[in-house]
Structure 1
Amino acid sequence: MKTKYLKSILPAALLTFAASCTDLDVDIQSQYTEFPDSELASEARAANAYYAMRGPLSRDYNHAQSLSSDEVTPHSYGANDYYDNGRYTHMFLHSWTPDDPCIGYWETVAGGITTCNNLIAEFGDAENVAPTIASLRAVRAYYFFVLMDSYGDVPLLDHKLADDERIDRSPRADIARFIEKELLEVRDQLSEEVNASTYGMPTRWMADALLAKLYLNWAVYTCGDVTQYTPDLPNEKLNDLVAVCDEIIASGRFDLSDDYRSKFYPDNGYQIRDFIYAMPFDRETQQGMTYARWWTHRSGNIGFYGVDLPSSVGGIFGVTPDFLDLFCLTNDERNETIIGGPLYVRDPYTYEATDTPWMVDGQQVVLTRDIPLNPVDEIMGVDNTPHGGRSVGYRSIKFYMDLQTTAAQSRSQSNDVPIFRYADVLLMKAEAILRGATATNGDTPMSLINQIRDYVGAEEKVTDSVTLDDLLDERGREFADESWRRNDLIRFGKFEDDWGWKHIINPAAKTQLYRRIFPIPTGVMNTNTNWEQNPGY
């Protein structure tokens, strides 16, 4: 079992913030009696600033990115069970509103920015804190990226807020340029080490990966009006993207030597060579990650995993049939992260399927590829029976259920969640070259994609010219359930495409291009009455 590094050091209260950027000022210095007099002490003092995304990434942020894409079809049982006022189906149907909780993570991420700002102001010019300040600026840049990617124009709050200060939202393009400036200024001050001591922390390679992701979407973020973005808009940052990818590749600190499935198991951690930046989770001390709860057949807490689970599961997510078609390469290990058809009891030690059929009420459970709904409306309800509604849709077992979780731990899993991976660096470089960047080091889109296919064991290799559609499909296979699909579909101009039941239940989704960004949550708007809601909402 992995050993988690950097437990929460600061009081938990520092992770709870008020409702908006205008009232997030916290007097952190007053909670301590001595100023940090070493780099180690300052890092300990700053530790919780690095984990503001733990809550959103464990649920709402992941749901917002995945359910709004073609990856996942949610459903409810009957008219009420797990409908939750449309919490899940609104995201899938592209009918979300400013009141929907899945898009309500603004406050937590903005709180992370404020914590960074307060600590930077507190440290000032003290000795031995420059590396810590660089780390705080890097993770703050990531928080700005999350806000800007999700909501468009956001406040450029780069300092400790004064008591009477009001701050407006800045254009998305300005936020993108600020993120770039910050990362370029701090990247050489960040640690280049990749080990247990830097796991989950901002490093030089985290900054470079974030720069690459920023550059990949540069045309999206700087076009001014999200409804006017098209995939053929020029991207001036493509060669810069290739350059930062090349630095990560040349570092030699990352590779694809890990088995694909094991990278996402509950005992993953700093030893995974593919992980550039990850969010640590632990069922005891760093709780909240419950991905498997949503995918597991609702009767699956009894017997399916080879042991009985201490808590119930939701079981309302199914793989959208259109997305399922991507998992078609022969002997591709990624295919094994999705289960369907007749189910067999899993071995609790190897996680592999046994030869024992998984039986419920005397009948083997069979998951259906299609997800029929009755009635066809926004409730997306199915009947609540083991061999009926509970068995619609294939299921993901990528972030495998943590079988050591106890009832008192509220379904929390110890699976760490990767944010930036080496595999993504390779595919970002491939995409940049496809979109017009100069190829370097003999790499081509074909050779880069084939590196991915080699390590997952896929027999089919790319032998002809690669298209952008090929690249998007490969990204779908590689990064399923890792909160990147919405981002990818928008960049490729496919966020409004047909999939599943979306356009049957909500035909307006085809033309509502303003949904490429989310609305500002109602609570934030109520506090910041001088702001205007995003257009369309």
Structure 2
Amino acid sequence: MKLNKVFLAAGMFAVALTSCTNLDVTPDSQYTEDPSKNSGVDPMIMVEAKMADVYFHMSGTLGRRYMEAQCLSSDEFTCLAFDGGYYDDGTYAHQALHDSKATDASLDWYDPVASGITKANTILEELGSGASAQMTAPARAMRAYFTWVLMDSFGDTPILEKVPAEGEVVARSPRKEVAEWIESELTEIIPYLTEDVTENTYGKPTKWMAEALLAKLYINWAVYTAESVDQYDAATAANPKLDDCISVCDEIINSGKFNLGSVDYLHKFSYDNGSQIEDFIYAIPYDAINLQGMQYGRPRSFKQLKNLMPNVYGSTDKFTQSTGGNMVVTPEFAKLFSLDGDIRNLSILRGDIYIRDPKTLKPTSEPFMYKEKQVHFTENIEFKKDKDGNPIEDNTIDVGNDDAAIQKGCHSIKWFMIPSDYNNGRNQSNDVPIFRYADVLLMKAEALARTGQSGAKDLFNQIRAYAGAPQITAEPTLAEIYDERGREFFDENWRRNDMIRFGHFEDEFFPHYKKYDFANFDKRHRIFPVQQKMLDLNPGWEQNPGY
């Protein structure tokens, strides 16, 4: 039983996994009374009841489509098609090739995230002007977070501080102004958010969640305030917010509320993780029955896992739902997992594969077999070949569909799954962290390195120590910090963000190679195109430049 599930209230069933709310339409209210005026009931309890829908609003999006966009556009993953299977109109390949389309299903989440802003604003309006800052701070924190998600991924974004009137046209604000607004919101509400870190505050906005978001805003400040996305140059950009980033990180570190090592790295992301993970500052508490939507295992697991016994997860029951096996680790990224003794190396499956122990999550000595042969995932990936044996190198990233094809590419097993979860519509109960203490340590280390200050080595080595990896003996370079972030936050939706900040988004990684005319290297593609439906619903909006 996951420890964090106890606090989930009965009202949780109302969580919207894939809501569709037009920005210029006023939503119907779900509530009939102002909790600040409800005598005899603790106002904060009433606010909590209203906020449940907002806290977990992004769960469905984060559980699949947002993940696809972030992971596949980074150098972590590429996608494979199997004789056309899983090509799905190119939605996955477009992200991997930095050639996204406004109609891609993997980008079909602008509106669901935006509707979270509308829900937060609805609550704020219902609370009224007489509500205390403490009562309104959680809704404002979630509103700031949802706005950051849109700004980070799509650039110019509406700044919504109220529910738009019916028929009102909502304009997109310049990215720089959005970043400044988020900063202002966070600094204003942080004193009023709870400092408690308990089972009851797990998955909800706290002071530390808001400060982690603020630190993330500050470390990327030069990216977000550049004249345009293509004008940001990692080698020359000045970031005036680095000392502020250090200060915010120190607030979290000095709180003493978080640590790295209470649970080993593998178990932090397992099927039974939860509020006991003291590294998690803010997470979505998924449950395969009560809060569905987390489907990371589906595209990452061996394509023929269904009904296969014994299976790589070491389960005694069969997986009765199909898996895709179409998201694999790029050869370039797999090479990061090579440090001696590093437990994070076990996050990926490569070479000869052995069945994992579902309790320790580590490999056993029993080979994982398919058709009487041990499964072997190749680090390198080859395209499908034509009848003459020549590779068909095109934008479908098709590798064929024979036994060799489905074993091309390394696989992530970071989000370890079990049949009792997955057989419920391919859902998982692995909670997904959004902000971690480890990230705070490495953001501070990066800010120190960028400002020429000492102290980054000790922070860096805290990460290495709990991972069992070799310690460094000198202050880390930015290149070393970038690589370490790759290892530590692999498959957590941060790599695209890091690649842009460090100046690596236009790097070459399979199949995003300059030798292919179907791979795109336009710097304007550091952000995604706005979903076509949103352009159709909001007159006056223009597509992002370059699309």
Cα distance in 2 for residues equivalent to 1:11 and 1:284? 10
Answer with 83-92 or 15-24: which moved more: 15-24
1:377 is matched with which residue: 385, 394, 405?
Answer: 394
Answer with 20-29 or 173-182: which moved more: 20-29
2:538 is matched with which residue: 503, 528, 531?
Answer: 528
Cα distance in 2 for residues equivalent to 1:506 and 1:281? 39
User: What is the CA distance between 1:352 and its match in structure 2?
Assistant: 2.7
Distance 1:189 1:371, change over 3 A: same
Alignment of 1:84-103 (within 5 A): 84-103=88-107
Q: Which residue of 2 aligns with 1:245?
A: 249
User: What is the CA distance between 1:513 and its match in structure 2?
Assistant: 0.6
Cα distance in 2 for residues equivalent to 1:24 and 1:358? 54
Q: Which residue of 2 aligns with 1:217?
A: 220
User: What is the CA distance between 1:506 and its match in structure 2?
Assistant: 4.4
Residue pair 2:399, 2:405 contacting (<8 A) in 1 also = yes
Residue pair 1:261, 1:337 contacting (<8 A) in 2 also = yes
Q: Which residue of 1 aligns with 2:155?
A: 152
Alignment of 1:262-301 (within 5 A): 262-301=267-306
Alignment of 1:66-77 (within 5 A): 66-77=71-82
Cα distance in 2 for residues equivalent to 1:347 and 1:509? 40
Instruction: Kindly provide the CA deviation profile for residues 96-129 of structure 1, in whole angstroms up to 9, marking residues without a partner as x.
Output: 11111112210011000000001000011456x6
Residue pair 2:24, 2:165 contacting (<8 A) in 1 also = no
Cα distance in 1 for residues equivalent to 2:148 and 2:241? 16
**What amino acid is the match of 1:313?**
T
1:135 is matched with which residue: 134, 138, 144?
Answer: 138
- In the superposition, the TM-score normalised over structure 2's length comes to 0.93
1:53 is matched with which residue: 58, 63, 76?
Answer: 58
Alignment of 1:345-424 (within 5 A): 345-374=355-384, 375-386=392-403, 388-405=404-421, 407=423, 409-424=424-439
1:447 aligns with 2:452: no
Cα distance in 2 for residues equivalent to 1:349 and 1:69? 31
**What amino acid is the match of 2:432?**
V
User: What is the CA distance between 1:353 and its match in structure 2?
Assistant: 2.1
Q: Structure 2: where are the runs of 5+ without partners?
A: 385-391
User: What is the CA distance between 1:7 and its match in structure 2?
Assistant: 4.2
1:314 is matched with which residue: 299, 311, 324?
Answer: 324
Answer with 501-510 or 485-494: which moved more: 501-510
Answer with 461-470 or 484-493: which moved more: 461-470
Residue pair 1:65, 1:485 contacting (<8 A) in 2 also = yes
Instruction: Kindly provide the CA deviation profile for residues 377-416 of structure 1, in whole angstroms up to 9, marking residues without a partner as x.
Output: 1111122233x11101111111111332263x11111000
Cα distance in 1 for residues equivalent to 2:224 and 2:507? 21
Cα distance in 2 for residues equivalent to 1:523 and 1:366? 42
1:428 is matched with which residue: 429, 443, 447?
Answer: 443
Q: Which residue of 1 aligns with 2:47?
A: 42
**What amino acid is the match of 2:321?**
S
Distance 1:389 1:277, change over 3 A: same
Cα distance in 1 for residues equivalent to 2:280 and 2:482? 21
Q: Structure 1: where are the runs of 5+ without partners?
A: none
Q: Which residue of 1 aligns with 2:24?
A: 22
Cα distance in 2 for residues equivalent to 1:509 and 1:177? 34
Q: Which residue of 2 aligns with 1:519?
A: 529
**What amino acid is the match of 2:413?**
I
2:502 is matched with which residue: 482, 489, 492?
Answer: 492
1:2 aligns with 2:2: yes
**What amino acid is the match of 2:151?**
M
Distance 1:487 1:277, change over 3 A: same
Q: Name the count of aligned residue pairs.
A: 528
Answer with 215-224 or 343-352: which moved more: 343-352
User: What is the CA distance between 1:354 and its match in structure 2?
Assistant: 2.2
Cα distance in 1 for residues equivalent to 2:415 and 2:89? 27
RMSD: 2.0
Cα distance in 1 for residues equivalent to 2:464 and 2:195? 28
Cα distance in 1 for residues equivalent to 2:127 and 2:361? 47
User: What is the CA distance between 1:191 and its match in structure 2?
Assistant: 0.5
User: Segments of 4+ in structure 1 off by > 6 A?
Assistant: 31-35
Distance 1:455 1:531, change over 3 A: same
User: What is the CA distance between 1:60 and its match in structure 2?
Assistant: 0.9
User: What is the CA distance between 1:235 and its match in structure 2?
Assistant: 0.6
Residue pair 1:402, 1:415 contacting (<8 A) in 2 also = no
User: What is the CA distance between 1:164 and its match in structure 2?
Assistant: 3.3
User: What is the CA distance between 1:31 and its match in structure 2?
Assistant: 9.1
Instruction: Kindly provide the CA deviation profile for residues 303-328 of structure 1, in whole angstroms up to 9, marking residues without a partner as x.
Output: 21233212111111111010011111
Distance 1:31 1:400, change over 3 A: farther
Counterpart of 2:243 in 1: which secondary structure? helix
**What amino acid is the match of 1:489?**
M
Counterpart of 2:101 in 1: which secondary structure? coil
User: What is the CA distance between 1:15 and its match in structure 2?
Assistant: 6.0
2:193 is matched with which residue: 168, 190, 195?
Answer: 190
Instruction: Kindly provide the CA deviation profile for residues 346-385 of structure 1, in whole angstroms up to 9, marking residues without a partner as x.
Output: 2334333222222211211111111111121111112223
Q: Which residue of 2 aligns with 1:203?
A: 206
Counterpart of 1:355 in 2: which secondary structure? strand
Q: Which residue of 1 aligns with 2:492?
A: 482
**What amino acid is the match of 2:115?**
G
User: What is the CA distance between 1:63 and its match in structure 2?
Assistant: 1.0
Residue pair 1:89, 1:379 contacting (<8 A) in 2 also = yes
**What amino acid is the match of 2:398?**
G
Q: Which residue of 1 aligns with 2:387?
A: none
Residue pair 1:25, 1:163 contacting (<8 A) in 2 also = no
Q: Percent identity?
A: 45
Counterpart of 2:492 in 1: which secondary structure? coil
Cα distance in 1 for residues equivalent to 2:19 and 2:343? 42
Answer with 319-328 or 500-509: which moved more: 500-509
Q: Which residue of 2 aligns with 1:104?
A: 108
Cα distance in 2 for residues equivalent to 1:277 and 1:369? 33
Distance 1:16 1:162, change over 3 A: farther
Cα distance in 1 for residues equivalent to 2:402 and 2:153? 37
Residue pair 1:113, 1:144 contacting (<8 A) in 2 also = yes
Counterpart of 1:240 in 2: which secondary structure? helix
Cα distance in 2 for residues equivalent to 1:32 and 1:10? 20
Distance 1:506 1:117, change over 3 A: farther
Distance 1:230 1:521, change over 3 A: same
Q: Which residue of 1 aligns with 2:388?
A: none
Cα distance in 2 for residues equivalent to 1:14 and 1:162? 22
1:12 is matched with which residue: 4, 14, 21?
Answer: 14
Q: Which residue of 1 aligns with 2:467?
A: 456
Residue pair 1:192, 1:205 contacting (<8 A) in 2 also = yes
Residue pair 1:18, 1:24 contacting (<8 A) in 2 also = no
Cα distance in 2 for residues equivalent to 1:146 and 1:535? 19
